[in-house]
Each structure stands twice: as C-alpha cells, then as structure tokens.
Structure 1
Amino acid sequence: MAWNQPGNNGQDRDPWGSSNNQGGNSGGNKGGRDQGPPDLDDIFRKLSKKLGGLGGGKQSDNNGQRGGGSGGKLVGIVAVAAVVIWAASGFYTIKEAERGVVTRFGKFSHLVEPGLNWKPTFIDQVRAVNVEAVRELAASGVMLTSDENVVRVEMNVQYRVTNPEQYLYAVTSADDSLRQATDSALRGVIGRSTMDRILTEGRTVVRSETQRELDETIRPYNMGITLLDVNFQAARPPEEVKASFDDAIAARENREQYVREAEAYSNEVQPRANGQAQRILEEARAYKERTVLEAQGEVARFALLLPEYKAAPQITKERLYIESMERVLSHTRKVLVNDRGNSLMVLPLDQLMRGGQISGSQAGQKNTNLIKLPSSGSSASNDDSSSYSPSSIMDQRRANALRNDTQRAGRE
C-alpha cells in the first residue's frame, strides 16, 4: 500500500494509527507501515476550529461535514497567508546617513540605527531622518533700514539635523519654524543698520549679527538642528532707484581712491620732511656746540694773554694786531700800495683779471700781490719804495715789535 493510500476503506488515514472513527483510538498506532501520512484537511480543520469554529459547526451528514471542511481549509489558508504577509511586511532598512524614529501607537518609542530592522506592522511606524546631509534654507525680502530706505536682501542658511526626535516632534515643522526665525532675525538686523552700511562695508557685520540672533531664537525651542553657516548673498536697492545708488557707490569709491592716494603721498613726503627737520636740528646742535667750544677756547686764550697784557700792554696790543692782520690778509688777493705818504691804494686784482682790463705794465705784476711800503730803518727816500708780500709785512712788523720790546726792556 502506498504511503498516502488511505487504509481501512478510507476510514484510517493515519499510518501511525490515527482514525476519524468515533469509537476508535485517536492517538493509537494501528499498524505502522500500513498507515498513510497525516491528512492536511484534518490539520486545517483543527486549525479552523481553534480560530473560532469558522468551519460551520457540527454537521449531521457526510455532505455537511465535507462542505464545512472545505470552508475551514480555505479560511485557514487565508489566515496563515495573512500572518506571513504581515510578518514579512515588518522588515525595513535604514540607510547609513539616516536614523529611524519609531513610534508605537503614535507615541515615540526609540531610535533605530542603520541596517535591517523589523517592526510590527500597524503597531509601530518608522520615519527615517537624514542626520548627515547639510540642508539649506533661503530667506529673502524687501526690508526697511534704520535710515528709512528700502533694500532687498537675500540670505542662505545651512543647517544639519542632530536630534531626529526633537526635529520631528518638538515643533510642528522645524523647517518652517527655522524659516520664520531667520526672517525675523534678518529683518531685525537690517532695521538697525543704515543702507550705506548694508550695501558696502557692513555686510560681514550683518551676517554675524543675523547668525547670532537666529541661534538665540531657536535655542529655547530645542528643534534638534544645528546652524552651520549663514551666507549673506545679496543686498541691493530697488530697481527704481538702482541707477542713483550706483552713482553714489561710484562716487564713494572715487572718494576712497583719492583718500588712499593722499595717504600714499603723505607717507612719502612726511618721512622726507621729518628727515630734513632732524638734519637741521642736528646741524643746529652741532653749530651750537662748535660756537660754545670756540667761545670757550677764545676765553681760555684771552685768559692766558691777560697776564702778558698786564706785563706789557703795548707789546701785546701790537702782537694781537699783527696776528689779526695776518689772518685777514692771508685770504685776500687785493694789493695795498703805499707810494708816498701814509695813504694806501687798494688794487682789486681779481676783479681786474676777470674783467680783462689789465694793462701791459700791470700784467707783468699781476701775480706779485705786493704791498709797497717804505722800508723802515733804511736811508732810502720816500720816492724809493720796496715791494713786500703780506707775509713779508707781517714778518717786518714782528721784527719791529721784537726790537721795540728789546729796547724797552733795556731801558727798564
């Protein structure tokens, strides 16, 4: 008999002794090899009875029992299939850059790490939130400045989600809340600044102040986001007055250029002037020191001459006179001529030589530079005149002075 061949004329379907007869042993073993495998209809019928008696209850005849068995079998198959589908539908995958936020019956339960996970369908819900992507939010609009001008401003905010639970459930919409907070902070900063500052050098200040106010605004709400950067993209006047503002900006740039050129010229001239002033001061100090030292030297020299003057006043006077005339006449090219009498003739030879008005007789004497004076102590008449150079005159005067000193000393 085959493995699945029913025994006992269709009454025994269990090769291990299981029978559907009312009087037989339901758990007995009637013969081992002669019995077939368990009937699937039996299994589904029992399963349908356990699920609520959906087989239709007890039937009085065989036809009723066969109809109820078919209905229970179909319901059991559907139930098992539904359980399998329900269990299979609970598998899901969280990406590497995401975190899963699990809610059970609408209430937050836990966070799910990346990978393959399972959840009971219709009981838990999972929302994946990207925590590594950098998100951007643009804010723009026409705003009023502190000097009652209108300017159009555009700004871009970059942020990242750091707490998925707070990002989803702390506020109704974290993105909309951030957009409103950005607009509020930007309008507050623009309203405290002048238009010229916003359009020119104040862009960095506006950016930093806007980021600071935005961070202070969203911090109490715990929205689970972190600001990364605030970019001040554009600030321009309305189109109706754009041409006038362009002219004003060009004039301001020209002014800055002229100021820089003036500063460069000042930086070039000022050090030179300071150097000249310092040189003049140093020269003045040197002249002062030299004059003081020369005066002190003269005082010291006269202090040394004072005893000599007291001893021989006339001789000292004569000596001082001779030395002074020697210093004066040693630097001149003029010739003093005393032909007769005590009168002197001054011949400016340098001027005559430059003018080319020297006669032939004078040309023979142009390099002599002589002073004609009567020689003292000689028997020559006044008409006989000798020629002496200035140094010879000084030597003669010194000799006369020494002779007079000797004669005076002899008389004393």
Structure 2
Amino acid sequence: MPFSSLKKRLGNYLAQEGKKPGEGPPDLDQLWRDFNQRLNGLFGGGKNRGSNSGGGGNGGSGGDMKGAGFTFGAVAAVAVLVWLASGAFIVQEGQTGVVTTFGRFSHVTPAGFNWRWPYPIQGNEIVNMSSVRSVEIGYRGSAKTKMASEALMLTEDENIVDIQFAVQYKLNDAVKWLYSNRDAEGTVQQVAETAIREVVGRSKMDFVLYEGLGKVATDTQQLMQVILDRYDSGVLVTNVTLQGVQPPEQVQAAFDDAVKAGQDRERQKNEGQAYANEVVPKARGAASRLLQEAEAYRAMTVQNATGNADRFKSVLAEYQKAPAVTRDRMYLDTMQQIFSNTSKVMVDSKAGSNLLYLPLDKLIAQVAATEARANSVTAPPPAAVLLPPEPTPEASRRDSRSRESSRDREGR
C-alpha cells in the first residue's frame, strides 16, 4: 500500500476518533490491526473480518496473528517469484551465453530467451562472438602516438626498426576466452608483440623495410595463432596490418641519404643496361653481317680459284697439243684485255719520228656527252677539248720497244 494512502487513512481514522493529527499519540495496536484488516481484504481475507471484529480481545489477537502470517506468506511468495524471474536473460544473435554454478562453468546457452537459477546459485556472462576486436602494437589511436617500448625491434643484422601494426581477431570459444587466461586481451597483446619480435629478429633490415612487408605480416599472424592455440585462448587471428615500418627517428636523415644513393645506383645500372641492350644487338648484327660477307668472299675466292685452276688445266691440255698457237692466243687475249682499259695512240712509222697523239676513245666519249647535253634544256655549254701533254722520252722508248716486239712476232 502506498505511504500517501496510508497517511490519508490514518488521518481519517483519527478524525473519527475525535482527534486531530498532532493531538496526542495514536493507538499503535489499533493502527496495526486496521492495517492487517485492510491488507487481508486486499488478498481475500474479507470473509473473516466480521468474526474478528465480533470476538473478544483474545480472538482479535489471534486473528491479527493469522493475518500477519498470511501477509508474510504472500510477500514471501512474491519475493520468490521475483527472485526466480531474475534468472531469465536474453542472448542476442551473434552472442553466446555462459552459465556458471557457484562460480564454476556449467553450460553454454544459444541465442534467444534463456533461464538459469538466480543469484547466488547460478550466474551468466554474455560474450559477443561476431564482433571483430583489435589490438594496437607500437602506437595508440594513430601512428603519431608511438609507444617506443613496443615499436623498436632488433633485426638479424643488428639494426633497429620502428614498427607499428594492428591485429584484428575474433572469438571462437567463449569458455576459453573467459576462463583459460586471467587477462585475455592483455594476453593477445603480449602474444602479438612476441610474435612480431621473433619474425623481425630472424629477418634483415632491408627485407623488413621493403620487399618483405607482406611476408612479415603473414608470418606474424601464423605465429600468433600457434601461440594462442597453445594457451587455449579461444581467439582466431583474422588479420595483421603493418601501419608503419621505418628506421628510428634519430637516424632517419642518414638512412634517407643511403636510400637515395641506392636509388641512384639502381638508376645508373638501369641506364647502363638499357644502353647495353641498345648497343649489343647492333654489334651482334654488324658482326653477323661481317661474318656473312667474309663467308661470301671466301666462297667467291674459292670458286674463282677453282675456276682459274680448271681453266688453267684446260689451257694446259691445249697448250700441250699446240704450244705455239696456244701461246700466241694467250698473248693476244692478254693484250686485248690490257688495251681495252688504256688510251689508244696511232703512230705512222713512215712519217718519221714525229708522234701524233690522237685520243680516239676520249673523243668518242666527248662527242657522246656533247650530244647528251644538247638534248637537255638546262645543260651547260660543252667544255673545251684538252689535248694530252706530249709524250716523254721514256714513253717514246716504251712505244719503240712495243713496235719492235710486234715486228718480231710478225717475222715469226
């Protein structure tokens, strides 16, 4: 019954007794009996109200005790119902309920409405199994907020690197997550730091900084999973992300200079390789062409020599049959070949010692050139004919010897 209603009823009772509130102490026994009667009326005790009021003093006292017992039972029943109702709980989708009996694990409940014995007999904890959790190593919040004690690591070649990375994981066993380790989240963080230090410690600095970033992350994830399974942590590592890998800030400038020098070296090597790729094929082509030309020249020379040898053999056979005729024929062929490439001079031996030089071949060529220029509109006028210089005494002696040898052959 609300306190305000009880106060109102108490005021009405005092008014009926001819007293006002505040005028003397009320009769507590009467107030208690009136309260019990009204409470019994609320819970179905109105049938005994007349008999209780009609009895004597002892009968009234017994009725009051009986009403008080009934009231206590009703209150106790309500309290028991409320206590039992406190054992109901709801597990959402993607969550798992873990029930304990006197602090010891009892069973796991699925998603939905569940009930267990109320406290202090049983208790429950709800674990979110679907959410992805993360732990940060080497930084907190952002890469700028570094944790030097976690980020600085030693490589195999005794260099120091600064690494910040994050680990994402999910839970695959709620019971192991709650009861296998005292501090589950702290265990995951310590395992992540241990795994990355072991992976970096067996790798060289250049490998960690450049080409080995993906392998470092993969090896760290695998090693973490092995250690966490050994601890029965109930954790499944889903991803390891390297946020930043760099040398310490104290040597960053020197390291950048070394990196630039290495880049310049690679650039020059690439330029040299490109030049070699351009020059070497050309040189190989030229060498191949020279080899082919040499091979062709060799074949031509061999063929010419073979032909000359065959011709000489055929001439020898004819020479052996008729030596004089063959010799004269060879002489005439040779002179024809020689005179075809030299200037011709006609000499009249009867005219005396005066030599008249008449270059017939040049005159014929000059006439042909003149006719060709005449046929052209823009052709320049023909050049003046230049006579060759007079022959020297040495040339005259050679001509005399030639004529004498010719007369000797005619005499034979």
The answer to whether the Cα contact below 8 Å between 1:135 and 1:160 also exists between their aligned partners in 2 is yes
Task: Specify which of 329, 338, 345 is matched with residue 337 of structure 1.
Answer: 345
Q: Distance in 2 between matches of 1:329 and 1:200?
A: 83
1:322/1:117 CA distance change after superposition, 3 Å: farther
Q: Distance in 1 between matches of 2:109 and 2:197?
A: 40
Q: CA deviation at 1:234?
A: 0.9
SS of the residue corresponding to residue 235 of structure 1 reads: strand
Q: CA deviation at 1:178?
A: 1.9
The alignment of Structure 1 onto Structure 2 pairs a total of residues equal to 311
Q: CA deviation at 1:42?
A: 10
Q: Which runs of 5+ in 1 are unaligned?
A: 1-38, 44-59, 364-372, 375-381, 383-399, 405-412
Partner of 1:275: 285
The answer to whether the Cα contact below 8 Å between 2:129 and 2:171 also exists between their aligned partners in 1 is yes
Partner of 1:199: 209
Task: Specify which of 32, 45, 66 is matched with residue 69 of structure 1.
Answer: 66
Give the alignment of 1:55-204 within 5 angstroms: 61-122=58-119, 123-140=121-138, 141-204=151-214
Equivalent residue letter for 2:197 = R
1:361/1:131 CA distance change after superposition, 3 Å: same
Q: CA deviation at 1:66?
A: 1.2
Q: CA deviation at 1:335?
A: 0.6
1:302/1:186 CA distance change after superposition, 3 Å: same
SS of the residue corresponding to residue 166 of structure 2 reads: strand
TM-score, length-scaled by structure 2: 0.64
SS of the residue corresponding to residue 251 of structure 1 reads: helix
Pick which of 115-124 and 210-219 moved more: 210-219
RMSD (Å), alpha carbons: 4.0
Give the alignment of 1:206-285 within 5 angstroms: 206-285=216-295
Partner of 1:24: none
Seq. identity, %: 34
Deviations 1:339-380 (A, max 9, x none): 378x9x998979xx9xx99755569xxxxxxxxx99xxxxxx
Task: Specify which of 40, 43, 48 is matched with residue 44 of structure 2.
Answer: 40
Q: CA deviation at 1:163?
A: 1.9
1:82/1:278 CA distance change after superposition, 3 Å: farther
SS of the residue corresponding to residue 61 of structure 1 reads: helix
SS of the residue corresponding to residue 100 of structure 2 reads: strand
Q: CA deviation at 1:115?
A: 1.6
Equivalent residue letter for 1:297 = G
Q: Distance in 1 between matches of 2:95 and 2:332?
A: 116
SS of the residue corresponding to residue 40 of structure 1 reads: coil
SS of the residue corresponding to residue 337 of structure 1 reads: coil
Q: CA deviation at 1:183?
A: 0.9
Q: Which runs of 5+ in 2 are unaligned?
A: 1-42, 48-56, 139-150, 350-354, 367-381, 390-398, 404-408
Deviations 1:84-113 (A, max 9, x none): 212322222212121222222222222222
1:42/1:209 CA distance change after superposition, 3 Å: same
Q: CA deviation at 1:255?
A: 2.0
Equivalent residue letter for 2:345 = V
1:361/1:238 CA distance change after superposition, 3 Å: closer
Equivalent residue letter for 1:177 = T
1:216/1:310 CA distance change after superposition, 3 Å: farther
Q: Distance in 2 between matches of 1:99 and 1:324?
A: 119
1:63/1:245 CA distance change after superposition, 3 Å: same
SS of the residue corresponding to residue 232 of structure 1 reads: strand
Q: Distance in 2 between matches of 1:282 and 1:119?
A: 99
Q: Distance in 1 between matches of 2:200 and 2:101?
A: 46
Q: Distance in 2 between matches of 1:300 and 1:144?
A: 86
Q: Distance in 1 between matches of 2:152 and 2:203?
A: 14
SS of the residue corresponding to residue 324 of structure 2 reads: helix
Pick which of 91-100 and 166-175 moved more: 166-175
The answer to whether the Cα contact below 8 Å between 1:335 and 1:346 also exists between their aligned partners in 2 is no
SS of the residue corresponding to residue 138 of structure 1 reads: strand
Equivalent residue letter for 2:209 = L
Deviations 1:265-303 (A, max 9, x none): 222222222222222222223333333333333333334
The answer to whether the Cα contact below 8 Å between 1:41 and 1:69 also exists between their aligned partners in 2 is no
The answer to whether the Cα contact below 8 Å between 1:146 and 1:193 also exists between their aligned partners in 2 is yes
Q: Distance in 2 between matches of 1:94 and 1:214?
A: 30
Q: Distance in 1 between matches of 2:335 and 2:63?
A: 168
SS of the residue corresponding to residue 125 of structure 2 reads: strand
SS of the residue corresponding to residue 229 of structure 1 reads: strand
1:295/1:65 CA distance change after superposition, 3 Å: farther
SS of the residue corresponding to residue 227 of structure 2 reads: helix
Structure ranking higher in helix proportion: 2
1:361/1:271 CA distance change after superposition, 3 Å: closer
Q: Say if 2:296 is the partner of 1:289.
A: no
Q: Distance in 2 between matches of 1:327 and 1:169?
A: 118
Q: Distance in 2 between matches of 1:176 and 1:265?
A: 58
1:309/1:62 CA distance change after superposition, 3 Å: farther
1:103/1:328 CA distance change after superposition, 3 Å: farther
The answer to whether the Cα contact below 8 Å between 1:151 and 1:238 also exists between their aligned partners in 2 is yes
Equivalent residue letter for 1:300 = D
